[in-house]
Chains A and B, each alone.
Chain A
Amino acid sequence: MADLEKFRAETRAWLEQNCPPEMRKPITSDGDTFWGGRNTKFSSEAQRVWFERMRDKGWTVPHWPKEYGGGGLDGEEAKIVRQEMAAIGARQPLTSFGISMLGPALLKYGTEEQKKEHLPKITAGLIRWCQGYSEPNAGSDLASLQTRAVGDGDDYVINGQKIWTSYANYADWIFCLVRTDPAAKKHDGISFILFDMASKGVSTKPILLISGYSPFCETFFDNVRVPKSHVVGTVNRGWDVAKYLLQHERAMISGMGERGVGRPLGQIAADSVGADAQGKLDDAQLRSQIANFEVDEAALAAAAERAVDLAKAGQSHPAFSSAMKYYGTELNKRRYEILMSAGGIDALEWESDRSKGGARPRAWLRTKANSIEGGTSEVMLGIVAKRILDLPGA
């Protein structure tokens, strides 16, 4: 305990000294998030300085082993870093699907060579990854995917189409599910493979969404040659890797509902609807919605903390991330419904500078995907019913 308190004091002092003031402000636009990658640019000098200091300390991913560029921290220490960063409002120095999704899968299923090749480039922000999972006819029923990989010497030749590939147009590499045995049952003929998005035959096409943004792409593979050594885990057992990765993806997405950054909802609402002499919001129903939301938000934060502690104690259920994903995404949708209601007509402006280009309504519309991406809410409830509650025929 004394060691941990010492570590906390040192961490606090280091962060205080090294996190630039600009990097302690709430994130308000896409440019505030640094994703890394070959073609990346820093949006500010402070962003660069903060990223490089954290990278050099191994704290872009504090809990990964040092040999891969992580901080080598144990669970308790990593939690302290998170808590101390949250205490000063420090932004994540690097956001990436390499950290939140591929990394955990590589650490569990990758060969030593694959780990050494890819993990340091993730922690150093050199390579930006995207996820090739969904296909036009394989959404909730992901395992019915049809993108084919056919062996040819030391390579696979890949043909097919992915969809909803987040930021595929900015990504350097892809982790992708392909069918390597079309004769096997649908879960048994899938492999998990990595390749360069600059490979010949890869093309992407952004999809315009209701938010007016295009965070997702269609991704096409036309005779893309990929070395067989790029398969992670066992050939035809890619579903195991895919499921393991999804647990991490769902845990990441569930965190959206507890993102208590920026000004409190109560204050945001007071600006537009006004308050009475006691400071109570002039809209009693809205006040009650916000308070109910904040009760649930605080409870979810406790549950997220407990989920990490349970995992550390070896007491967690592997499907619990589905429970958290369900609740976190539904909560985030509630947050934005409240924000829209609180903003009234001001929150309806779509293009003005005053509205930062319609930032709020666009973010509101974006949240509607939360309960679809990474497995729909209905799929999550099905997983909980089947795997945790052991209900029949689910």
Chain B
Amino acid sequence: MALVLTEEQSMLRESARGLISDKAPVAHLRGLRDSKDATGFSRDLWKTFAEMGFSGLLVPDQFGGSGLGCVEAGIVMEEIGRTLMPSPFLSTSVLAASALSRGGSEAQKAQHLPKIADGSLLAALAIDEGAKHRPLQTKLQATRAGNGFKLSGDKAFVVDGHTADLLIVAARSAGSAGDKNGLTLFLVDPKARGIAVERTAMVDSHNAARIVFDNVEVNADSVLGEVDQGLGLLEGVLNIGRGAVASEMVGLSDEVFGRTVAYLKERKQFGKAIGEFQALQHRAAELYIDIEITRAAVLKALQALDTDIGKAATAVAVAKARAGTTATLAVQEGVQMHGGMGMTDQFDIGFFMKRARVCQELFGDSNYHTDQLASGKGY
């Protein structure tokens, strides 16, 4: 497969870019932040996303979606990264749609997927518990009770957790923290008794929540995939999420870089454009090269996910690790080269820096994925 976008994919990019840059420039996020919006994204805009077929992008045709793949989801994420548009696309259309279509029973798919496609259902994936992403360390306990389970424990960094109509929760049904066996995924109604959701305002003004589960009763039908054998499904879904977030970071980095190069050409000091100084030229060139190499690695990972998700782990680890370091470099250079202006809230660059930091942590930072690569290769 060629590592370039097909004509259809390029058209998708144009239509996503048109909509997002028009309806949700960075000012859109700024407005939601300044008004302390209770939802944290625009439901009207999400409706438009559904009408354009974006919300059901990964939902199979027979459930009302477009049945497209990770490359296409990555294209939309990259455009989201350019303007930092807050939306349920990652939580609902990428993560939940993948989890349900890959692990759901026919009944579960029929119940939820059409609603994801038409934009009427919002879902969130609850994985992390500690300060760092360590899915194997999952401790939230699922104890058998009657025909079902009782869930007890804490989740954090649940993206869009406070607006979700459906939670997908990773729990430990057997073994202890660190074991590969004994993980189970559950579909949980956030309004169920014993659940407390706290919206956590984050540095990037995007949605996240802490959720406490106190003996929450779920029935056997709420198991997604197989009891105790949830790791394979979870890793697949997480890898799709990692590819998507890596794409967002490529878009974010590219946007910051474009704004920074424009500033180098425009800002004058010592009687000339600061972009004439070799010290800045070389740093800009290095950043350009870094972004282009990461862009290729991310596209490679997305294609690998679409070709054979079981063999995509290394490519995804490379992509997420690279995207994290590239985005970190891009936003730091962006602020530094904008000088004092880059430190002001009035200027947009700071929003990108904050989002990049959050994207690093989402589903494992660069250190995590670099370590995964080393362990995978046996050293």
Q: Which residues of A contact B (CB under 8 A)?
A: 264, 266-267, 269-270, 275, 279-281, 287-288, 290-292, 294-296, 298-300, 302-303, 305-306, 309-310, 312-313, 315, 320, 323, 326-327, 378, 380-382, 384-386, 388-394
Contacts and interface: CB of A to CB of B under 8 A. Distances in A.
B155 to A, nearest CB: 29
Interface stretch (B13-21, B56-64, B125-133, B278-286): B278-286
A182 B369 CA distance: 57
B129 to A, nearest CB: 24
B292 to A, nearest CB: 6
Interface residues of B, number: 42
Interface in B262-317: 264-265, 272-273, 275-276, 278, 281-282, 284-286, 288-289, 292-297, 299-300, 314-315, 317
A291 B371 contact: yes
A23 to B, nearest CB: 26
B370 A313 contact: no
Given A288-B370, A298-B314, A299-B294, A382 B281 contact: yes
A305 B296 contact: yes
Contacts of B374: 266, 280, 287-288, 290-291, 294
A146 to B, nearest CB: 26
A14 B295 CA distance: 35
B112 interface: no
B317 to A, nearest CB: 8
A289 B370 CA distance: 10
A313 B379 contact: no
A389 B284 contact: yes
Interface string B315-339: 1011101100000000000000000
A300 B322 CA distance: 11
A392 B378 CA distance: 48
Contact of A381 (B261, B282, B292): B282
A296 B2 contact: no
Nearest to B275: A391
A256 B93 CA distance: 41
A172 B4 CA distance: 41
9 contacts: A280-B379, A296-B322, A303-B295, A306-B4, A306-B295, A309-B4, A389-B261, A389-B288, A393-B276
A303 B300 CA distance: 9
A288 to B, nearest CB: 7
A266 B375 CA distance: 10
A323 B293 CA distance: 9
Contacts, number: 137
A315 B292 CA distance: 14
Contact of A309 (B3, B272, B318, B369): B3
B278 A382 contact: yes
B293 A327 contact: yes
A379 B85 CA distance: 38
Nearest to B370: A291
Contacts of B286: 326, 381
Nearest to A268: B379
A323 B289 contact: yes
Nearest to A391: B275
Given A306-B299, A385-B285, A269 B379 contact: yes
Nearest to A264: B377
A292 B370 contact: yes
Contact of B285 (A280, A290, A310, A384): A384
Given A267-B378, A303-B296, A327-B289, 20 more contacts: A266-B377, A281-B379, A287-B374, A295-B369, A295-B370, A298-B318, A302-B297, A303-B292, A303-B293, A305-B3, A323-B285, A327-B293, A380-B285, A384-B288, A384-B289, A385-B285, A386-B281, A388-B288, A389-B288, A394-B278
B216 interface: no
Contacts of A312: 2
Given A279-B378, A299-B318, A381 B3 contact: no
Nearest to B315: A298
A299 B288 contact: no
Contacts of A281: 379
B250 to A, nearest CB: 12
Chain A contact surface mostly: helix
B373 interface: yes
A101 to B, nearest CB: 23
Nearest to A315: B4
B186 to A, nearest CB: 31
Q: Which 10 A-B residue pairs are closest in the complex by CB-CB distance?
A: A266-B379, A299-B297, A385-B281, A384-B285, A306-B3, A291-B374, A393-B276, A303-B296, A302-B300, A302-B296
Nearest to A305: B3
A303 B272 CA distance: 35
Contacts of A327: 289, 293
Nearest to B373: A291
A300 B3 CA distance: 13
A313 B2 contact: yes
A378 B276 CA distance: 15
Given A298-B315, A382-B278, A392-B276, A323 B265 contact: no
A369 B292 CA distance: 25
A279 B374 CA distance: 10
A244 to B, nearest CB: 21
Interface in B148-198: none
Contacts of A320: 292
Contacts of B375: 280
Contacts of A275: 379
A391 B3 contact: no
B293 A300 contact: yes
B327 to A, nearest CB: 14
A392 B272 CA distance: 9
Contacts of A393: 272-273, 275-276
B340 to A, nearest CB: 21
Nearest to B273: A392
Contact of A294 (B265, B273, B300, B377): B377
A266 B378 contact: yes
Nearest to A311: B4
A306 B369 CA distance: 23
Interface in B338-379: 369-371, 373-375, 377-379
B189 to A, nearest CB: 40
B50 to A, nearest CB: 32
Given A385-B282, A388-B288, A389-B285, A302 B373 contact: no
Contacts of A306: 3-4, 295-296, 299-300
B132 to A, nearest CB: 16
B190 to A, nearest CB: 37
A299 B296 contact: yes
Nearest to B277: A393
